C-alpha cells in the first residue's frame, strides 16, 4: 500500500465531526495503520536541536479509530478477547525479521516494530508505539501507546514505559538509542531518557520527579541526560511528623556518567539476537 503522508495528514487534521462522518474514514484508517507500522508517521519526532515534538494530529487520528469503531470479540489462542475493532492484534511474518518469542506477547496494530527487534514473552506493545532496530523488549515489559523507543535499547523484565493518547498534545515517553532500562523501572508522563543512559532496577521517574545529579550538583526534571547512570535513592520527607517517623521519599539519583565499566555491565549478549 502506497502511503501519501500529505493526504493522510489532511484527512485526519479536520474537525472530529467531519472525520467521523466521512465515508472514507474506514479506508483511511487502514492507511493510517500501515503508515504507523512502517514508520512513515510517528506520534513524536526528534527535531534537529534534540527536542522531541508531539505530532498531535497522529495521536488525534489514533483516537478517531477508537471513537469510530465498536467492541467485538476477537479470536485468540486459548482465551477470548474483546476490544475495539480498529486495533486488533498485529501479526508478523518471516519477512518482518522480528523475533517474536513464543509465550504470549501481544503487539497491537498501529505499532512500529523494526527489523531485528526481540520481543520476549509476555511483553505488550500498544498502538502508536515506535520500537527501533536492535531493541530487546524483555518479559513482562510494557511499551505504552505512542511511546518512542530508539535503536539497541534494552527494556529489561517488567519495565513499564507509560503510554499517553489523551490529551493529544501530550508528549509520550521517549527512550533514545543505546539506553539500558533495568528491571521494574517505570517511566511515565512524557519523560525523555537520552542516549546511552542507564536506569538501574527499580527506578521510577514521572513528570513531577526531581532527578538529583550528584555528579554536577543540580536538580533535573522530565529528562535523563545522555550517558547518565540513575539509581533509586531517597530523601527525607518534610514536616515534623515525617521527621519524627524517619520517613523518606523516593529520589532518583545520577551517581555517575557512563564509562567502559558501565558498558561492560550492560552489554547485551549478541548471541541472544
pLDDT level of residue 3 (50, 70, 90 thresholds):
confident
Would you state the pLDDT for residue 273? 61
User: 265 versus 88: which is more confidently predicted?
Assistant: 88
The rounded distance, in Å, linking the Cα atoms of 36 and 87 is: 12
Q: What's the rounded mean pLDDT across residues 156-170?
A: 95
Is residue 123 predicted with pLDDT exceeding 90? yes
Confidence (pTM): 0.95
Number of residues assigned to the chain: 273
Q: Cα dist. 139→124, 142, 272 in Å?
A: 9, 9, 14
**Long-range pairs, 213-222, Cβ under 8 A, ≥24:** 213/253, 213/254, 214/253, 214/254, 214/255, 215/254, 215/255, 215/256, 215/257, 216/254, 220/254, 222/190, 222/191, 222/192
What class is the 87-259 domain? mainly beta
> Residue 13: pLDDT band by 50, 70, 90 thresholds?
very high
Give me the pLDDT at residue 270, please.
Answer: 62
pLDDT at 80: 81
The residues that bridge with 106 in the sheet, in sequence order, are 124
Residue 140 has pLDDT above 80, yes or no: yes
Burial 66-80 (b: 16+ CB within 10 A, else e): eebbeeeeeeeeeee
Average per-residue pLDDT in the chain? 94
State pLDDT tens for residues 220-259.
Answer: 999 999 999 999 999 999 999 999 999 999 999 999 999 8
Q: Find the mean pLDDT for residues 179-188.
A: 98
**C-alpha–C-alpha distance, residues 33 and 87, integer Å:** 9
pLDDT at 187 exceeding the cut of 80: yes
- Give the residue among 255, 259, 262, 258 at the shortest CA–CA distance from 217: 255
pLDDT at 201 over 90: yes
Please give the average per-residue pLDDT across 28-35, as a whole number.
96
The pLDDT value given to residue 268: 61
What pLDDT is stored for residue 118 in this prediction? 98
pLDDT tens for 58-108 read 999 999 999 999 999 987 766 788 999 999 999 999 999 999 999 989 999
Separation of alpha carbons 126 and 129, rounded Å:
6
Phi then psi dihedrals of residue 57, to 5 deg: -65, -30
Q: How much is the pLDDT for 272? A: 64
How do the domains of the chain map onto residue ranges? Answer: 87-259
CB atoms closer than 10 angstroms to residue 235: 12
- Rounded Cα distance, 188 and 204, in Å: 8
Alpha-carbon span 220 to 196, nearest angstrom: 17
Q: How far apart are alpha carbons 241 and 263 in whole angstroms?
A: 43
In the chain, the largest separation of any two C-alpha atoms, in whole Å, equals 66
What pLDDT is attached to residue 261? 79
Dist. CA 202–CA 113, nearest whole Å: 26
Give CA–CA dist 30/34, Å, rounded: 6
Amino acid at each position: 500500500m502506497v502511503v501519501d503522508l500529505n493526504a493522510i495528514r489532511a484527512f485526519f487534521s479536520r474537525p472530529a465531526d467531519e472525520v467521523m462522518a466521512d465515508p472514507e474514514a474506514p479506508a483511511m484508517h487502514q492507511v493510517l495503520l500501515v503508515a504507523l507500522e512502517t514508520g512513515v508517521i510517528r506520534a513524536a519526532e526528534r527535531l534537529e536541536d534534540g527536542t522531541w515534538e508531539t505530532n498531535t494530529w497522529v495521536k488525534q487520528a489514533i483516537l478517531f479509530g477508537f471513537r469510530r469503531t465498536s467492541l467485538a470479540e476477537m479470536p485468540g489462542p486459548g482465551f477470548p478477547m474483546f476490544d475495539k475493532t480498529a486495533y486488533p492484534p498485529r501479526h508478523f511474518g518471516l519477512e518482518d525479521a522480528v523475533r517474536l518469542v513464543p509465550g504470549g506477547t501481544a503487539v497491537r496494530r498501529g505499532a512500529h516494530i523494526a527489523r531485528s527487534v526481540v520481543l520476549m514473552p509476555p511483553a505488550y506493545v500498544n498502538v502508536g508505539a515506535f520500537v527501533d532496530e536492535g531493541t530487546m523488549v524483555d518479559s513482562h515489559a510494557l511499551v505504552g501507546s505512542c511511546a518512542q523507543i530508539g535503536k539497541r535499547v534494552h527494556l529489561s523484565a517488567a519495565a513499564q514505559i507509560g503510554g499517553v493518547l489523551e490529551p493529544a498534545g501530550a508528549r509520550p515517553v521517549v527512550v533514545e538509542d543505546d539506553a539500558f532500562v533495568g528491571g521494574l523501572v517505570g517511566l511515565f508522563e512524557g519523560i525523555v531518557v537520552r542516549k546511552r543512559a542507564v536506569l538501574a532496577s527499580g527506578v521510577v521517574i514521572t513528570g513531577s520527579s526531581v532527578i538529583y545529579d550528584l555528579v554536577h550538583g543540580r536538580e533535573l526534571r522530565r529528562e535523563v541526560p545522555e550517558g547518565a547512570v540513575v539509581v533509586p535513592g531517597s530523601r527525607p520527607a518534610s514536616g515534623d511528623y515525617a521527621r519524627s517517623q524517619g520517613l523518606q521519599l523516593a529520589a532518583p539519583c545520577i551517581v555517575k556518567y557512563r564509562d567502559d565499566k558501565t558498558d561492560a555491565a550492560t552489554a547485551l549478549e549478541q548471541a541472544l539476537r
